[in-house]
Amino acid sequence: MAPIPGSGLAKGLAVTLRTMTRKTVTEQYPDAQPELPPRTRGVIGLFEENCTVCMLCARECPDWCIYIDSHKETVPPAAPGGRERSRNVLDRFAIDFSLCMYCGICIEVCPFDALFWSPEFEYAETDIRELTHERDKLREWMWTVPAPPALDPGAEEPKELVAARKTAEKLAATQQADQAEQTAQTAQAGRAGQSGQAEQAGSGERAGSGERAPQAEQTQPGEGNA
């Protein structure tokens, strides 16, 4: 069926008329903050305790706007006779937001959950050089990161949580077994102590009766002589 001539124009005019009859709403920014969606891409927050300086975020960044400096430190052995280990220590972590295109690749490729999206967006500067924010500023934005959404009740439990729960259950079972073994050893030691005391008491009674018997034998001849 061929479209009616002018139907497209009529639909467009209908949309225009509906819009004209609506009340105009003006966002009173900055006096009133806008309600941002939960997945807003504002700035990138850094949780530096999780950063292992693997450099994966800097290598995968298409704009090369992440700058990382680090050095190596020697960690003493955890047990006597062990060997020393070396670990990377973060010295600098900066992001140049004048180059960042907010693609989120650095957040997705981070294997240790050290980078997160923060809804903060008020960081305009008069000097473009001030848009390179160091790790102290990135750390401040970390505290505005919203909590992750709740998991679907029907979804499978993450493998990390399953492994952590199994480890915790195994550790709890080991501790309970150790406590039960210690309790059994204590009870056995107590029973052994009681039996030892009983044996000592019995031997004392036998010894006492053995001493009295010779005295009786000695007095009997005396009585006969009398």
Which tens digits make up the pLDDT trace of 27-57? 888 888 888 887 888 999 999 999 999 999 9
pLDDT in tens, 97-134: 999 999 999 999 999 999 999 998 888 889 999 999 99
Give the Cα separation of 140 and 123 in Å (integer): 12
Helices within 2-79 (DSSP H only): 7-21, 56-60
Phi/psi of residue 3, each to 5°? Answer: -65, 150
Taking a C-beta distance cutoff of 8 angstroms, is the pair 131, 97 a contact?
yes
The band of 141, judged by pLDDT with boundaries at 50, 70 and 90, is: very high
Task: Give 32's DSSP letter.
Answer: S
The band of 209, judged by pLDDT with boundaries at 50, 70 and 90, is: low
User: What b-and-e string marks burial along 84-119, b requiring 16 or more CB atoms within 10 Å of the CB?
Assistant: eeeeeebeebbbbbeebeeeeebbeebeeebbbbbb
Give the Cα separation of 148 and 219 in Å (integer): 98
pLDDT in tens, 176-192: 999 998 888 888 887 77
Task: Give 30's DSSP letter.
Answer: T
- Regarding predicted confidence, which is higher, 54 or 80? 54
SS3 at position 184: helix
Residues 6+ apart with CB under 8 A from 125: 131
pTM across the whole model: 0.57
3-state helix, strand, coil in the chain (%, to 5): 45, 15, 40
SS3 at position 84: coil
Phi/psi of residue 31, each to 5°? Answer: -65, -40
